[in-house]
Amino acid sequence: MSKLKNLAFWKRPMPYQWRSMNFWKDTAWAYIYLSPALIILAIFTFYPFFSAFRLAMYKVSFTSFPGEYIGFGHFRYIFAHKYFWQALWHTVAIVGTSVPITLTLALMVASLLNKSLRFRTFARTSFFLSYITPMVAVIMVWRLMYNQQYGLINYLIGLFGTKPIAWLNRPEYAIPAVVILNVWRYVGYQAIILLAGMQGIDQMYYEAARIDGASGFQSWRRITVPLLTPQIFFLLIVSMIGSFKVFTEVFVLFNGPGPLKAAQTLVYYIMDQGFFGTPHYGRAAAASIILFGIIFVVTLIQMQVAKRRVHYQ
Amino acid sequence: MKLRNLVIVALVAAFAMSFVVAGQTTIEFWHRFSERHNDTLLQLSTWFEAENPDIQIEWIYQGSYSALQQSITGAVVANEVPTMTIFYEDWIPPVADALLPLGPYFTDAEVADIVPGLLYKDMLTVPFNKSIMVLYYIEEYVETPPTTWEEFYNLCVENTVDEDGDGVFDRYGTGIRPAANPEQFLCLLEQNNGKVLSDDWSEVLLGNDAGLEALEFYASLAPYAWVTSEYLNSNIGYVAMAIDTSAGYYYWNRAAEGAGLTVKTAPLPVGEKAASFIQGTNIGIFKDAPQDQIDAAIKFLKFLLQPENTGYWAAMTGYLPVTLGGLDSAVWKYTEATSPEVIASSTMMPLGVSSLSHPNYGDMRSALSTMCEEVMLGASSVADALANAVAEIESLLDY
């Protein structure tokens, strides 16, 4: 079997099942049942995806669509545009802070929720509420909480003698405001995923560790965390992809890209190019392809790292 | 026998009705007016249809302004356009080739009656719902509204106070929204006889002396201004006065009443001259619509621009009449008498200017917003911010 796996796919012999008529009948029926979903995906996902590559090569005109062919002109413009690099830096900052902070807090919360607590179900539900509440509604409430004059957050930090912070009106606080909101929103979701993973770990490992004299922390560090790596890896990929696409939080919190564009992310940059101000659809398409490329490369790197670090039971 | 006769009569009636319906022209009008504005639209179309029984207006609500813009874009690309729709000025250039030039359909007298600041190159659209920047002030803090830049500045200084001595200002003289509302600066620019571009769009004039002086005055307000992205009436009483759109009076008044304060309006303080900035949308007709719909749409446009009708629309919605005749109409005069807060808007309207219809104006506005923010947040000196904006706008002249 391993010899077959090492062969290029076009050199491998035809699988045994392919010789059976029933196999092809079952395959055909499967695709017939899948076809409505595939048609919708084709129209609303695949076609726009590939159209973006085409649009990125044109200076789009609405009255003579698609417009003037300019090749890689949009890409040259974007790579020379200071606001693109600024947006990229902001996006990296959000990804680099919110992902590890959220995951760390989620791990701690999941560990606590895994214990035999009173009102454990209530606690688990409470943490998950932040994820299931509609995002725009949540962000509008946070916008009030961040208000410099009467917001809850400034009131709470004021109890420790700190002066009110202009969370939404000063550039230096823009990214922290987005990160705090992001962390709060996704901790519960990630904690539930990790909790499910914890509950799937065989208790015999803990019993063996207890017999060997391991402390609670040692068990957590040497058993729980390594056996949670599949879930951690999944959450890392999903949360990094999600953090690269931050837009709604910025748009609703700041009613724009933030003071001095301090919270402008890559997706906001794309929307700005295409929809806010003079519409440059071709440029927006080009920027979205660049974002796709960045996320694709990051995900590939993550998967390579995962091959060595993820332990499956 | 009786039943057969009834059937025959019904068939004949239906046959006759089909001619009536077939003879009627239906205009498809895309808009984004909801609730109270929608009722006023329906009333206007009812009056129009009573005068023109062969024309029917079909109002189609498209949602928010951004949803409407996307609908228009999609319709133009797909070549499935409505008869008419509303546009912001910067929506016009990308679809200009699809619009019907309206100049040939209006007499010189009709064109002259439109508020001068609302006329555009080629007259691809006519103005519809417009508002203008006015000065809002809280009567409890500002007894007499300022009439000059100097008075405005002095009142800002006077009203920036730390009442409880904790080192944090409890009230500011004014509120500035540099990113969301660069029109506050554009009012000052216009009042100082400055311009962003030359009339033929070949040169950027923002960086000349008039522009520099306007930006310096704007920057001088920074220590006495609540600089924010929030709506200025969201924290009523936090600013003593502010330059804001007349269309926001309903929200200013509601906030003030809730806080036990009194908000009033006044014309903007005067610089070298009196001027203000008009915002809002226009109506355009698509040239690919059938000719009978175009003819009907032109009739409806002229109906909307009649003095009593533009006055009625303004009176019911909080917008402003878009013709000089409308500003003098009986319905608008009655509105001024019963709602004195609109007098400031009426006074400024003939002196107002609108945003450029340059194809890249959206990006130019973004450059202006950045310039205003840099100055207000102290990120750049006035000269550097102005130079950066001029350079960016110069790169946008070609289209």
Of B325, B346, B367, the last residue of a domain is: B346
Looking at residue A269, the DSSP 8-state letter turns out to be H
The pLDDT of residue B157 is above 70? yes
Q: Which H/E stretch holds residue B85?
A: strand B84-87
Q: Tell me how far CA of residue B140 lies from CA of B159, B176, B262, B269, B344, in angstroms.
A: 11, 20, 7, 19, 19
CA distance A232 to A195: 11
- pLDDT value, residue A163: 87
Cα–Cα distances in Å, from B235 out to B180, B186, B239?
A: 17, 24, 8
Across the interface, of B235, B370, B379, the residue whose CB is closest to A149 is B235
**B233 and B363 in a common domain:** yes
B118 and B34 co-located in one domain: yes
* Same-domain status, B148 and B272: yes
Q: How confident is the model at residue B217 (pLDDT cuts 50, 70, 90)?
A: very high
pLDDT attached to residue B284: 95
DSSP strand pairing (A58-60 vs A67-69): antiparallel
User: Number of folded domains in chain B?
Assistant: 2
In a domain, B216, yes or no: yes
Q: Is B26 helix (H, G, I), strand (E, B) or coil?
A: strand
pLDDT in tens, B286-314: 999 999 999 999 999 999 999 999 999 99
Q: Half-sphere exposure of A127 toward its Cβ, with a 13 Å CA cutoff?
A: 25
Q: Are residues B145 and B222 in the same domain?
A: yes
Rounded Cα distance, B161 and B223, in Å: 11
Residues 6 or more apart in contact with residue B88 via CB below 8 angstroms: B65, B69, B280, B281, B282
Interface of B with A (CB under 8 A): 66, 69-70, 73, 76-77, 90, 94-98, 167-168, 179-180, 227-230, 235, 238, 359-363, 365-366, 370, 373-374, 377, 379
Q: Which pLDDT score, from 0 to 100, does residue B166 have?
A: 82
pLDDT surpasses 80 at B19: no
**Contact (CB<8Å) B230/A170:** no
- Taking an 8 Å Cβ-Cβ cutoff, which residues of chain A contact chain B? 61-65, 147, 149-150, 163-164, 168-171, 254-261, 272, 275-279
Residue A71 belongs to some domain of the structure: no
**Spatial CB neighbours of A117, under 8 Å, sequence gap ≥ 6:** A123
In a domain, B334, yes or no: yes
pLDDT above 60 (res B22)? no
Please give the pLDDT value at position B229.
86
The pLDDT of residue A313 = 62
B127 in the same domain as B138: no
% of chain B surpassing 70 pLDDT: 96
Give the chain B residue nearest A81 (alpha carbons): B392
Q: Is the pLDDT of residue A305 over 60?
A: yes
Q: Is residue A45 part of a domain?
A: no
Judging contacts by C-beta atoms under 8 Å, the chain A residues touching residue B73 are 62, 279
Q: Is residue B47 a part of any domain in this protein?
A: yes
Q: List Cβ neighbours of A272 (8 Å cut-off, separation of 6 or more).
A: A257, A264, B366
Task: Write the CATH number for B144.
Answer: 3.40.190.10
pLDDT of B15 strictly over 70: no
**A72 vs B23, which has greater pLDDT?**
A72
Q: Is residue B246 part of a domain?
A: yes
* This prediction's pTM: 0.85
Does B331 map to a domain?
yes
Q: Does residue B363 sit in the same domain as residue B226? A: yes
Going by C-alpha positions, the residue among A238, A218, A232 that lies closest to residue A110 is A232
| Domain assignment present for A68 | no
Residues 6+ apart with CB under 8 A from B186: B196, B277, B355, B368
Positive or negative: CA dihedral A118, A124, A125, A127: positive
**What pLDDT, in 10s, does the model give residues B109-139?**
999 999 988 887 678 999 999 999 999 999 9
Per-residue confidence (pLDDT) for residue A87, from 0 to 100: 97
Judged against a pLDDT cut of 60, whether residue A56 lies above it is answered with yes
Contacts of B97 in chain A (CB under 8 A): 63-64
Within this chain, do residues B257 and B370 fall inside the same structural domain, yes or no?
Answer: yes
Q: Quickly list DSSP for A214-241.
A: --HHHHIIIIIHHHTHHHHHHHHHHHHH
Asked if residue B20 has pLDDT above 60, the reply is no
Give the range of the structural domain holding residue B35, as residue numbers without chain letter.
2-131+279-346
Distance CA A301, CA A307 (A): 10
Chain A residues within an 8 Å CB radius of B377:
170-171, 259-260
B320 and B387 together in one domain: no
pLDDT tens digit string along B246-293?
999 999 999 999 999 999 999 999 999 999 999 999 999 999 999 999
Residue A284: give the domain boundaries.
83-309
Residues of chain A positioned with their CB less than 8 A from the CB of B398: none
Give dist(CA A144, CA A149) in Å, integer: 10
Same structural domain, B179 and B288: no
- Is A14 within a domain? no
Q: Which one of A51, A61, A62, A157 makes the best mutation probe of the B interface by having the most chain B beta carbons within 10 Å?
A: A62
The residues near B341 (Cβ < 8 Å, ≥ 6 apart) are B249, B253, B264, B265
What's the total number of domains in chain A?
1
pLDDT tens digits, A85-142: 999 999 999 999 999 999 999 999 999 988 877 888 888 888 889 899 999 999 999 9
Residue A72 lies in a domain: no
pLDDT above 90: residue B347: yes
The arithmetic mean of pLDDT across residues B178-207, rounded, is 95
Considering the domain architecture, whether residues B19 and B112 belong to the same structural domain is answered as: yes
Q: What is the pLDDT of residue B54?
A: 94
DSSP percent split of chain B into helix, strand, coil, nearest 5: 55, 20, 30
Does A149 sit within 8 Å of B377, measured CB to CB? no
Name every chain A residue with its beta carbon within 8 A of the beta carbon of B361: 278
Predicted confidence (pLDDT) per residue in A232-284, tens digit: 999 999 999 999 999 999 999 998 999 999 999 999 999 999 988 788 999 99
Could you tell me which chain A residue has the CA closest to the CA of B70? A275
Nearest Cα residue in chain B from A251: B229
Residue A13: inside a domain = no
pLDDT at residue B17, as a whole number: 58
Q: How far is CA A173 from CA A165, A180, A262, A263, B243, in A?
A: 8, 11, 9, 9, 27
The tally of CA atoms less than 13 A away on the side-chain side of residue B144 is 5
Residues B145 and B97 in one domain: no
**Residue B399 falls within a domain, yes or no?**
no
> Are B331 and B311 within 8 A, CB to CB?
yes
Query: Does the pLDDT value for residue B151 go beyond 70?
Result: yes
Q: Which pLDDT band holds residue A58 (cuts at 50, 70, 90)?
A: very high
Whether residue B145 is found in the same domain as residue B233: yes
User: B77, A260: Cβ pair inside 8 Å?
Assistant: no
CB A198 within 8 A of CB A114: yes
Q: Do A65 and B77 touch (CB under 8 A)?
A: yes
Q: Domain boundary residue among B309, B327, B346? A: B346
CATH of the domain at A113: 1.10.3720.10
Decide if A255 and B377 are in contact by the 8 Å CB cutoff.
no
The alpha carbon torsion through B207, B213, B217, B218 (nearest 10 deg) reads -20
Pairing of strands B25-31, B125-138: unpaired
Q: Which of B346, B369, B386 is where one domain is finished?
A: B346
Measured between alpha carbons, how far is B382 from A307 in angstroms, rounded to an integer? 55
User: ipTM value of the model?
Assistant: 0.82
Q: Are A106 and A113 in contact (CB under 8 A)?
A: no
Q: Give the CA distances from residue B83 to residues B74, B89, B294, B396, in Å, rounded to whole numbers and listed in that order.
A: 15, 18, 7, 32
